[in-house]
Amino acid sequence: MKINKILFFILNFLILSPNLFAISLDGTTNIVYKKTHYTFDNSDTATGFVQLDSGFSIPQSSQVTFKIYNPIRNGIDLHTTGTLTLNNDFILDSTVSLSSSGFINGNNNAIILNDDLTIPTNKNLEIVSDTIINGNGHNLILDNWAQILVDGGVTLTLKNMTIKNVVNSIANPPIKLINQYSKLALDEVTFALNDEFAFPNGQLYIHNDVIFTGSSKFSYRSVLPSYITPHACMYFDIGTTFEYYPGCNKNDLIVLYDNSSSIFLNGCTLQTTHTGIKLTKGRLFFDNKVTLSSAANTVLDSITLIDSKSIGDYVYSAEWSPDQHYISIGAQGEASGQLQFYSFYNDTLTSVTSKQYDTLASMLLSTDFSPNEKYLAIGGRRSAEGNKEFQIYSFYNDTISTYTIQSKDEGYWTASARWSPDGHNIALGNYGGADIELYGFENEVLTTYTSRNFGDRIESLDWKPDEKYIAFGGRIPTDASELHIYLFNNNTMSDAPAFKKDYGTNSSFLYAIKWNPEGNYFAIGGYHPHSGLELQIYSLINDTLSTYTSKNYGTRIQSVSWSPDGQHLAIGGRNAGDELQIYSFKDNQLSATPVISQSWGYEIYSVAWSPDGNYLAVGGNQPDSGKEFEIYKVNYRFDTTTPTLSNAIRFGNSSKGSSYNLNTYVLGGATIEIDGLVWCDDA
């Protein structure tokens, strides 16, 4: 009898304690009412008339599906990697607050605000399927360094709201499209930001009135076209700047869809760079004092050393996080750990943490942040076969996890591990075992997709920005092709390379590959003992591969890196002095000589532009100074040369006829100040 009473008590305790073992909430026949904060379990659902009066939590790496009709109240906690999936519109009460990062799977449904909503400091919401956020006239506020991330292939629509922020940056914009396939639609939205809003990826769609106000700059840097739809207006208010600064040489990426589409410049600045800008169709309005300028601050003038660190014997990899707040370093011979991790704020490097990759004899050759900044992939050479050369760490709450969430034995070493631009795949270049490995990565699970043999070993690889191709380079001991380019489509890599090229003779090594931001050129570098043409640039346009240009460097190139605007190419390696070189690539022409050429020490293994283009991270071997890692500030000056007509600010396109004229209106009292060249190109 006593035992039965105990069992009865335990059973009732479990039934009445939903936060201990959460179950799905079904309010389709009876209203479900939860007064206390509710914790879901993985794959739970909430359906029908469910009232969560004190908010809810979704645990890490869990997914919960909502199809409820009552507004959510109070706190929502997605625990950084929890996913909120919507099967109908999701209404937020005026009391709702967010406490963490997380994923939103909107399924083309709307999140509806009934008051202001704040994304907390250093947190982000990642939108993983088409989602609408309807502000109902309220504010969407991003606290310090907070972000909304939009996955590849996803459209985020923001409607009827004012967007405000506290602090962001060029590399850490308040709304960030992860790759070229991401889209942002704006409908009756006002941006009242405190600082620059850079738009480096994807496409933008303007509906109705979209207003930029305050003292901020909107910098259009994408290589893809964006559209001002019929009867829509892109309005720049007094004190703002509209900067057209794409990572390519196209001047026509802002498309006014028809004659009812408008751009309104009110007491602001229209600033272009080396490309100029071409506006056709539609209407352009000027009010108050408007400045039209093509004298951009884009000429590289010098570089200045701002910090350096002693890391170990060698630094093989130095990579920026996408938000530019952190740098991961792969080294050899560092007792505290071959993986070093630094923060970077206000031109200052600060050590955050380090991790041991293996024994002091091991080499950490590659580090790479995922595009959403939540993971770090690393690869190298460990002390014995059978070890896990390839590893993935999680990066939650600005902290590298104490354990690897995934690891694989890749043979003797992994020289290069690189995330795809959308963050859903990882390509590896190995020595020993399968030279090429391709993995999928979803919900912290690695899935083996394919493997290919290269010939001897891979030294470098890079994804084309649109993910159509992956380029691999390395060493083949026979007189064969050191460069292989594979097609990639729908998580599948072609059985054989679409293109193969010889880099040099059988004693050549191809150490470095990098696509430019537009993805129509890529640079390669390595050891080329006979011809001396260590730097080579190829074009890949309309699926046709062509040798574009080449340059002598010195002994060997170990690293190449394009600036985010595609106008400069940095090179590092071993040379008889001047190991660090930067070439200009304006108008797709490589300068005859480097615009910057500087002695570094002995050998550079890694050089990387920061996401905003204002810094260079350089790592290698400096036996004299012992400073194996350095950060340089890149200094620019204004380009005061008069642009050609093709690179001017152009209104209209006479080559296409009168339907491509731009109707221009100068309102009463307006003045226009011109700095550069403006051409009215009407038919």
Interval 655-668: pLDDT, tens = 888 889 999 999 99
Q: What is the CATH number of domain 299-586+600-626+633-637?
A: 2.130.10.10
Residue of 382, 381, 379 lying closest to 393 (CA atoms) = 379
Name the average pLDDT for the chain. Answer: 89
For 629, the token pair is 């890692």
Average pLDDT rounded to a whole number, residues 66-94: 95
Q: Is the pLDDT of residue 403 over 90?
A: no
β 457-463/469-475 pair status: antiparallel
Report helix, strand or coil for 261: coil
What's the CA gap between 456 and 436, in Å, rounded? 11
Q: Give residue-wise pLDDT tens across range 458-481.
A: 899 999 999 999 999 988 766 678
- Tell me the three state secondary structure of residue 94: coil
* Residues 6 or more apart in contact with residue 522 via CB below 8 angstroms: 462, 464, 471, 513, 514, 515, 516, 537, 538, 540
Partners of 368 in the beta sheet? 377
In this structure, of 210-224, 346-360, 413-427, 530-544, the range with the lowest mean pLDDT score is: 346-360
d(CA 383, CA 199): 44
Q: What is the mean pLDDT of residues 492-509?
A: 86
Q: What is the mean pLDDT of residues 503-516?
A: 86
- Which distant-in-sequence residues (6+ apart) come within 8 Å of 443 by Cβ? 61
pLDDT of residue 20: 36
CA 636 to chain centroid: 23
Residue 402 has a pLDDT of 66
Nearest to 331 by CA among 632, 631, 629, 630: 629
Greater pLDDT, 254 or 576: 254
CB-based contacts of 438: which residues, under 8 Å, 6+ apart? 425, 426, 427, 428, 448, 449, 450, 451, 470, 493
CB atoms within 10 A of CB 607: 27
Phi and psi angles of residue 360, each rounded to the nearest 5 degrees, phi first: -65, -20
Angstrom distance (rounded) from CA 568 to CA 318: 19
Query: In whole angstroms, what is the distance from residue 363 CA to residue 357 CA?
Result: 8
Q: 322 and 373 in contact (C-beta within 8 Å)? A: yes
The answer for residues whose C-beta is within 8 angstroms of residue 439's C-beta and 6 or more apart is 408, 425, 426, 427, 428, 446, 447, 448, 449
pLDDT for the residue numbered 409:
67
pLDDT greater than 70 at residue 221 = yes
Token digits of residue 197? 């809003």
Closest Cα to residue 545, out of 499, 509, 585?
A: 499
SS3 100: coil
Write out the two tokens for 595.
């615009």
Other C-beta atoms closer than 10 Å to the C-beta of 663 total 15
Q: Output the pLDDT for position 15.
A: 36
For the chain, domain boundaries: 1-26+36-98, 299-586+600-626+633-637
Confidence (pTM)? 0.91
| Among candidate residues 452, 418, 446, the one with its CA nearest the CA of residue 608 | 418
